[in-house]
Each structure stands twice: as structure tokens, then as C-alpha cells.
Structure 1
Amino acid sequence: MPTDTADPPNVVVVFADDQGFGDIGCFGSPYIETPNLDGMATEGAKFTSFYAGAPICTPSRASLLTGSYPGRVGLEEWVLFPDDEEGLHPDEVTIPDVLDEAGYASTCLGKWHLGDCEPFLPTNHGFDEYFGVPYSNDMGAAHTDGEYRELPLMRDTDVVEAPVDQSTLTRRYTEEAVEFIEDNRDGPFFCYLAHTMPHVPLDASDEFDGTSRRGDYGDAIEEIDWSVGRILATLDRLGIDEETLVIYTSDNGPWLEEGVDGGSPGHLSGGKFSVAEGGPRVPAIARWPGTIPSGSVCSELLTAMDLLPTLAALAGVDLPADRTIDGADATDLLMRPGSADSPRERYVYQTGGGDFGAVRDADGWKLRLDTDELYHLHEDVEERFDVADDHPAVVDRLRETARSLAADLSEHARPVGRVD
């Protein structure tokens, strides 16, 4: 149900690309300096059991913006490529669509990756404006029908620069975010800032290039941290700090196969593409001065899918009644991160190829569906000790949970968008 609020908050969601669970100072990084993100956690809440909708780009972004499992919206398999004839269906209801009912202005900045042509672009999906790269930054060298493709920078539906200088992207996205916040200071507004970095190929501006102790990867993240600092300083300067919810997270875990150019899952196992914890479990921080208790740490189950219903509740608007939304309203958890329970009963992990690979419950029991291995994440987050033989009833219950959701998705899946 919508929250009874006369003044819905401004919302800023910062979405990193391929940043691992262990790649922020307050999440345990010994090499990457992130004073602004650490400050966000000190002034707000750190969520240590937060899951992306998938361990790979396109499905994860579809899940975040629609509040649904990727398989619910037909985008569960791998990623979209330039000129693909598929994308997020124009009839899908996204976060900006929902917030528009409460009078929100909205912008999408950075990586989109849900279709690079109309009718799939951000301005076709509820955003008032768009500035960014429509897909992954390693797709600039892709060959389409034998032709070399330059990586484009778009404004709304037009390419304004190609090839874009990737070393300028983090700074330019940040400048656009600051300008949008200034122009909409009277609110309410929704700023979705989906950074291109630290996806490979890595890049950073001259001010950050070569300055971190973690090579190019650290340079990219430390510039993103600077970007967060600029946004927080802008909110403070405009006097809207206490009126604005800022959320920081990542689309999936680190691309371990990239070696030194990939990130770290910290104490978790696995990374991008994987259903081990390091694949979909990502760092998450929320800050809302005066509303979210400072210095909170929450280990309750929470997912990116939960943002849409949570923001709808905070804005005082109803969810669409004509479709299944897999996310849950986590308002109580956001307001009381140290004491409230998870609004979710389950989370199903999908592989990079879209199959169900594991399932967990809010009590920390996780079943690997490919191996029938059972782990209790509250005691064994590294997934080292299989206890399936000791808990056959838990194995059966979780297997039935996955089967039930698979049947529901099969019956109630919505179509992927296709170019006519």
C-alpha cells in the first residue's frame, strides 16, 4: 500500500557496472579509497545481503527498473548487442513511469543496455531525458555486417558524439546529474545515474588516472566515489539533503576473468555470470538524513527488484494492478534497517544464460539447483560446507520454491519488445 506522505522524497540511484562486493572501503577493500561512499554508510545504512536481479548487465537492469525477475520481462538470457531487434517492451512499467504519477521529473544518465533503438530507449520508458552510452563500453569495437562501430554518446534519441572519449564519461555524467538536480531542486525528482565504469575497458579522467593503489580499476572506482561526493555536496548546498534518498549499488559482481582489470567479491566466492554469492550479491548503501538511522548495518535479504515497489510506496502511488511485480515494499526495512525483517521470503538466482541456478530464503538457506548443495549463508557465506545431507526437508522446500516460481514465470511471463 502507498505510504501516506505529502512530500515524497527526491531519489538518486547510482548504479555501478561490474563493481564487486569487496570494492568499497566500508565493504572491506584494502586498496580502493572511497571516502564519499564510506561517508554515505556512516550517515545512512549499509546493506550486506543485497542482490542484483541477475549476475549480468541487461537482465540486471531490466529487473531493477521493472521490479521483476528478468524472466518475467523476457530479458533473462545474456545481454543485448548494438542493433538488436529486441529490448525492454514499451508496455513495461518502469520506476520513472510509476513516479511520474506523483509528479516526478526524471533523468537517465549513463549506461542503458535495454535496447539501443526506438522504441526501447530511456525516453520511451518513462524518463524525461537521457544522456549516456546505450550499451556496454566494450561494444564500440563490435562489427555489425562487417562494419566497424564507434561507441556512441546519446542525448535523448540522438547520437551526439562518436566515438566518445571514455575518460570523460564519469565526469560528464556527474555534471549532467548536478545540473538536473539544480534545475529540479523544488522536486520531486528521480535521477538514475548508471555509470559506464568500472566495466572494461577501464578509463578515468586525468585527475584520477594512475592515482589509486589498485591500478586502472581502482582509478575508475575512485572517480565514481568523487562523483558521489559531488552529488551529495550539491544536495547539501541546495538545502535538500533531508529531502533526498540516495542509493548506491552495482549491477552485478566483478568480472573475475579480466584479472587485474576485474574487481573483487571480497570474502564471497564467484563473480559475474555466477550464481555463487559473488555474482549477484553486491554492495548497497542508502542515505536519507533524518529518516534512515545513521551508521546502520542491515543483513536482511533485499534485492534490486524491491526498489520499484518501495519507491512507489514512498511516493504514495499504487503499483500497476495488471501485472505481477516480483519486488516487495521494503519501506520498513529502509526506515529501520537495524531491526525490521526482510519483506521477502525468497530470492532465485539466475545464471548468465537465464537458467535458475540456486534459490535462497530470508533465513539464509541456499540450495544450488545444479548440484543439490545446501549452504547456510548466515554461518557459511563463502559456501564452503555442504549440509544437504543434514537438512533434507530444507532441500525439498527450496527445490519446490524454485519449481513454483519457474511455473509462475512460465504462465505469467510478459513479452520481450521487438522491432516491428
Structure 2
Amino acid sequence: MNFKLFTVVMFAVFCLSCKETPKAKDVAVIEEKLEQPNIVVLLCDDLGYEDLSAFGHPVIETKNLDKLANTGIKLTDFYSTAPVCSSSRAGLLTGRSPNRAGIYDFIPSYKKSEDNRDLVHLQADEVTIPAVLKSVGYETCLVGKWHCSSQFNSTAQPQPNDFGFDYWFATHNNASPSHENPKNFVRNGEKVGKIQGYSSQIVVDEAITWLDKKSSNAPFFLEVAFHEPHEPIASPEDLVQKYLPLARNREEAEFFANVENVDLAVGRLLDYFKTHNITNTIIVFSSDNGPETLNRYPKAKHSYGSPGPLQGMKLWTNEAGFRVPGIVNWIGKKTFTGSTQAVVSALDLLPTFAELAGAELPDRILDGESFTSLLETGHFERKKSLTWAFYDAINARRVAMRKGDWKIMGRLELDNKELPHIHNLYDGNIEAVKQAKLTDFVLFNLKSDIAESNNVASTYPEVFEAMKTEFESEYNALLTGSHIWIRENQDVE
């Protein structure tokens, strides 16, 4: 127990003694309630709903993640905060829809553009998970992918350390030139240069080094943001050879090997916790969005990720775009174990972690809510619907909402035409977006129709009308609260 918690416990015991001498078991209960858990977030990049064997993949071996799922909580209805990387990461860190932060799409490298996309970054006033946890004594670390600013490792925009990370070892976007021997990592503002090895193993090496050098016994928050299995994929040859007989071609074998390499890296981290007797540690594993579509762009030749029974892929607002594997496992703590269909989102991580750590929530609108009851009892029914507005979605209905078993989706039309695809909301297009109307609605019951194959709007007219009314209200509220990017100097290079 750290000093801060020890002081609180002793004060509680002293206060109780003013009335009566506490029994030993009473003191133990007080101490247990106040003990803060270590918190670890493991986040893959473009991992599909069915890319782990625990979630149904028939070929890929993921024994370490399977064990986490089988001895912890397997979340079958877990959602990322967006169907694209930068937006998803911003939502996870803040517990808020990424639209509120103004991150509507992936963030490219800095280059001035007419739609002000070059300005996009996670803004300094956003309050993040590491910042919340630091306020109650946590040490914090990020290793892996950042992708929350257009100007990475620059004083022009906030960097990971500005959001509560004591230590960071990260890349702007992908590991470059590939997962093998990357040369674009930055450690606390200093370029590292070429590193031998594979990215998933490299970031776990860095996490273990940070844990070894941690300056105190304070609880820690560790985010391990893997680059895998995002392109450009590179995998250890021994793993590739293992999968060649089971794959359609070498590229698919390299993808399978890529996912297993992540699993092996996770296994190394879990072994470290075990050998160093690190208990009371809650681990959350997931993906930033669904799987990439094979050959969607020239370098996507290894993109064999599987959406399983879900419709769509990455960049869709159908389920496969943001319904992803979810695992929660609390090492050293007895919790509910098993598979659950509770609707949980990465938006929920900040309020959940804050409650577990005894931290105050940020004084701002949060779209997530704490799911601690799921850990305790296996039951969680969210009060807030989940709403997504991805203006550059590949599918036609770019706005969606899930509430309970139901999901409603709609098109955006302006002057009886589909709203043009948009990467960013700025002063040049915001009025058009505000004038666009939701239309052409469809309704699905995801409990009975996970594939979104049967529009039941006419079958359940009362449910449809209620969902439609709430959907329009929630979308309008989200649009009203969305950040609009305005350039002070209107000259564009």
C-alpha cells in the first residue's frame, strides 16, 4: 500500500476508535476498499471481431489472450468509440465522443489543407484517463501508438506528457517502415532511431523496463498501444512458416502470425506480473476499430482480418466497424467471470477507472459510464445510448445509435442528396452539416440479428418511433457539442 493510502486507512481507524475499538476484520475491510488497483489497457490496431481464437477464429492461436478471456470477462458486445483510429483513441482516453474533441477521422501527418484538417489534435483542455489517475497518486506510461495530433513530437500541439503520461515511448501513427526494425519511435520527446525486433515485442520490452525502473510503490496506469495488425505488416518468419500450411497465401500467413506475435508479447507482460508478484491489476484488452478491408488501398495486401458474423469492416458504422473483442481480467481480485452480452464501450473506461481508483470525474460532459457493477455482479445495463456520427463512413448510413438490444441507423441528406463525405468539421462546412437531415432509417434487433440482416422497423413500429425520436435528439445534441476547427489565418499553402 502506498503512503497516501496508508494515511487514509490510519485516519479511518483513528476515527472509528473514537467510538469503539475496531475489530481486525473491520480494519481489513476499510483497507481493501481503499486499495487502488494497477490498471493496464492493451489496445490492438485494426483487430477484427473474430481475430482471436477466444472469439471464434479457426486458425490463429492466441493462448494468452484466450486465458485472459476464459479466466476473466469476455465482452461479446464491446464497442470502440469510433470505426477509425485517431477518433477511437481520443474517445477512449477522454470518455467522450471523439466528435466533441473535434477528431472526426484519422489524423494525417501535418500538411495544410482547405478543411483545416492539419489543425486537428487532442486539445489541451481535454481530461484523460492518465490525468485523472495521476490526481490520486498513479504513475502513468504510454508505449506504442499515439495518433492524437497532426504535429507529433512538436511544441506546436500537446503531446502525451501534456495529458498525464509521466513516460511515453510512441510513434505518431504506424511503426515505420514496418513492424520489423522500426525507426520512428520517440521516447519522452527524443527520437530513438532504428530498433531491432518487432513492434509488439519492442513496446512490451519498453513497458517492462519502465516497470523495473518505477520510482515508487504507487499504483500504475499502463497503456500498451500495439501497432499490430495494422499495415504495413511484418511478422517473425518462424510464425509465418507455422501458418503457411493453414493459409491461402503468404500474405494471409503473415497476418495470422502478426496477431499471434501480439499474443506472445502479451504473454511476456503477464509472465512479468507473475514473476514480480504484481497483483491487484485490472487488465482491459480491445481494438481501436474493426478490421481493414483487403486491398482497400495499395499497401493493404495483408489485411485478412475477420469481422466474423458482423456486417461491414473498418470505416463502417455497421457493427464490424466498431464492435471489437473485449476482455477484462482483474489479477488478484475475485470478480464475475464468464461471457457477457452487456453493452460496454471504450467510452466507459475513464469513469470506471476513476471509480476504482477513488478519483473525481472531470467536470464536463462524459458519454461513458462506470461498469463496476459488471465486475462485481456480472450485470450492467447502461443508461446512456451509444451514438456514432462518422461523416466519412464507407456505408451509406453514417450515423448510428445502439440502445439495449436495438440499433438504429440513418443517412444524412442535404437538398435531397447524400451529404458529401467529410474528413473534418470546420467553418466552411458546418452550416451544411447542420442543415442535413437524418433520413432512410433502419432498425435492427442485435440480440437476434447480430448480422444486421433484417430491418424490423415495420415489425416493431412503437420501438421504431421511440428509437427514431431519441436518435434524432441524440445526434442533434452531439452535433451541437461537436468542435469546429477554425483557422485564424485563412491562408492555405
Alignment TM-score > 0.5, same fold: yes
Q: 2:71 and 2:242 mapped to 1: Cα distance?
A: 27
1:341 corresponds in structure 2 to: 380
Alignment of 1:160-175 (within 5 A): 160-161=192-193, 168-175=198-205
What's the CA shift string for 1:236-295, capped at 9, x where partnerless? 111123x10011100000012346523001111111000111110000111113435464
2:222 corresponds in structure 1 to: 191
2:401 corresponds in structure 1 to: 359
Q: SS at 2:331's partner residue?
A: coil
Q: 1:328 and 1:418 mapped to 2: Cα distance?
A: 34
Q: How far has the Cα of 1:408 moved from its partner?
A: 2.2
Q: SS at 2:59's partner residue?
A: coil
- Structure 1 pair 103/326, CA: closer, same or farther in 2 (3 Å)? same
Q: Is 2:318 the counterpart of 1:276? A: yes
Q: How far has the Cα of 1:410 moved from its partner?
A: 3.5
Q: SS at 1:208's partner residue?
A: helix
Asked whether the equivalents of residues 197 and 203 of structure 1 are also in contact (C-alpha less than 8 Å), the reply is no
Which stretches in structure 1 are left out of the alignment for 5+ residues? 142-149
What's the CA shift string for 1:120-178, capped at 9, x where partnerless? 3211211011112111347x69xxxxxxxx9621111222216x66x521111011112
The higher relative CO (CA closer than 8 Å, separation ≥ 6) is in: 1
The higher radius of gyration belongs to 2
* TM-score of the two chains, using structure 1 as the length reference: 0.89
**Sequence identity percentage:** 32
Q: SS at 2:192's partner residue?
A: strand
Q: 2:37 and 2:269 mapped to 1: Cα distance?
A: 16
Q: 2:487 and 2:128 mapped to 1: Cα distance?
A: 18
Q: 2:391 and 2:146 mapped to 1: Cα distance?
A: 18
Q: 255, 278, 284: which one pairs with 1:247? A: 284
2:16 corresponds in structure 1 to: none
Q: Is 2:145 the counterpart of 1:111? A: yes
Which stretches in structure 2 are left out of the alignment for 5+ residues? 1-29, 111-117, 248-252, 296-300, 412-439
Q: What is the RMSD of the two structures over their aligned residues, measured on CA atoms?
A: 2.5
1:59 corresponds in structure 2 to: 87
Q: Is 2:349 the counterpart of 1:307? A: yes
Specify the code of the residue in structure 1 equivalent to 2:235: A
Q: SS at 1:48's partner residue?
A: strand
Q: Is 2:350 the counterpart of 1:318? A: no
Q: 456, 467, 485: which one pairs with 1:387? A: 456
Q: SS at 1:261's partner residue?
A: coil
What's the CA shift string for 1:40-83, capped at 9, x where partnerless? 0111110000000000001000000000001111112x211122
* TM-score of the two chains, using structure 2 as the length reference: 0.76
Q: 1:49 and 1:328 mapped to 2: Cα distance?
A: 15
What's the CA shift string for 1:287-343, capped at 9, x where partnerless? 11343546411111100000000000000011012x111110111112323xx1223
1:92 corresponds in structure 2 to: 126
Q: 1:126 and 1:318 mapped to 2: Cα distance?
A: 15
Specify the code of the residue in structure 2 equivalent to 1:353: D
1:265 corresponds in structure 2 to: 307
Specify the code of the residue in structure 2 equivalent to 1:108: L
Greater Cα shift, 56-65 or 113-122: 113-122
Specify the code of the residue in structure 1 equivalent to 2:382: P
- Structure 1 pair 112/94, CA: closer, same or farther in 2 (3 Å)? same
Q: 1:123 and 1:402 mapped to 2: Cα distance?
A: 37
Alignment of 1:32-47 (within 5 A): 32-47=60-75
Q: 2:76 and 2:168 mapped to 1: Cα distance?
A: 31
Q: Is 2:231 the counterpart of 1:200? A: yes
1:298 corresponds in structure 2 to: 340
